[in-house]
């Protein structure tokens, strides 16, 4: 392999995070997740696997659920990030968050912020008519049921195994019209 003794490169990154503008200098190698947590102190998104396999780092980036661990912070420059913490409005939990409490959709809670952001994305995607792997008729409207929610949430692991409650919570939030709001 070639010589790799190159000096770190730092670059300015500006983001809108949970409604506020934030800027910092970051090493180009830094993930969006590390910039949020270590650079800006936004600790709602969690580091699980750091390889895009567990979903704990899921945030809404420019309105869509994405993995902050596989996103370079410099590539997200200028973007709008919403974390689970940023979904709270005027002290009131987001309908997805409330549903997770009501349906007992968590135990230790480490994966929960990622589950919340992913669920908000799922509801928005379903409302926009996006089909999934288990959608039988690709031309028909999407109707969320247990199988649909399980498939659509498969990118968020829960090592406590709270899946039954999580699925129930997403379906409850789907019945609440506001579940897909960012």
Partner 1 sequence: MRPFTYVRAQDAAGAVAAVAGDRDAGFLGAGTNLVDHLKLDVERPGTLVDVSRLPFDRVEDLDGGGLRIGAALRNSDLAADPRVRHDYPVLAQSLLAGATGQLRNMATTAGNLLQRTRCVYFRDVTTPCGKRDPGSGCSAIGGYTRYHAILGTSPSCIATHPSDMAVGMAVLDPVVVVLGPQGERRIPFAQLHRLPGDEPERDTVLEHGDLITHVEVPSYPAARNSLYRKVRDRASYAFALVSVAAVLEVEDGLVTDVRLAFGGVAHRPWRASAAEEFLRGRPATEESFRTAADAELATAEPQPGNAFKLPMLRGAVVAALRDLTNAATTGAGR
For binding to partner 1 (CB under 8 A), which residues are involved? Answer: 1-2, 4, 6-9, 11, 27-29, 31, 50-52, 55, 58, 64-67, 70-72, 74-75, 77, 118, 121-122, 125, 128-133, 135, 138-139, 150-155
Pick 14 or 154: Cβ nearer partner 1: 154
From the CB of 37, what's the least distance to partner 1, in Å?
16
From the CB of 82, what's the least distance to partner 1, in Å?
14
Q: Per the structure block, which two tokens stand in for 91?
A: 């002290």
User: Three-class SS of residue 123?
Assistant: helix
User: Three-class SS of residue 107?
Assistant: coil
CA atoms within 13 A on the CB side of 144: 27
From the CB of 116, what's the least distance to partner 1, in Å?
13
Pick 43 or 53: Cβ nearer partner 1: 53
Rounded-to-integer distance, Cα 54 and Cα 98, Å: 23
Pick 46 or 65: Cβ nearer partner 1: 65
Q: Is 175 left (phi over 0), alpha (psi -120 to 50) or beta?
A: alpha
Pick 67 or 103: Cβ nearer partner 1: 67
Q: Per the structure block, which two tokens stand in for 176?
A: 């609440």
Rounded-to-integer distance, Cα 177 and Cα 181, Å: 9
From the CB of 27, what's the least distance to partner 1, in Å?
7
Pick 9 or 20: Cβ nearer partner 1: 9
Rounded-to-integer distance, Cα 132 and Cα 121, Å: 13
From the CB of 106, what's the least distance to partner 1, in Å?
19
């Amino acid at each position: 392999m070639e010589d790799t003794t190159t000096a770190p490169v730092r670059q300015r990154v500006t983001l809108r995070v949970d409604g506020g503008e934030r800027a910092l200098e970051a090493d180009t190698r830094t993930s969006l997740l590390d910039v949020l947590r270590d650079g800006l102190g936004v600790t709602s998104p969690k580091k699980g696997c750091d390889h895009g396999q567990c979903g704990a780092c899921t945030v809404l980036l420019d309105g869509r659920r994405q993995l902050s661990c596989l996103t370079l912070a410099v590539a997200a420059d200028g973007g709008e990030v919403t974390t689970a913490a940023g979904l709270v409005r005027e002290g009131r939990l987001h309908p997805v968050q409330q549903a997770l409490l009501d349906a007992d959709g968590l135990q230790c809670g480490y994966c929960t912020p990622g589950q919340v952001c992913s669920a908000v994305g799922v509801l928005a995607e379903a409302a926009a008519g996006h089909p999934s792997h288990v959608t039988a008729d690709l031309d028909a409207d999407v109707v969320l049921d247990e199988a649909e929610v399980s498939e659509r949430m498969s990118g968020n692991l829960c090592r406590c195994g709270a899946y039954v409650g999580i699925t129930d919570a997403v379906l409850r939030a789907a019945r609440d019209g506001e579940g897909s709001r960012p």
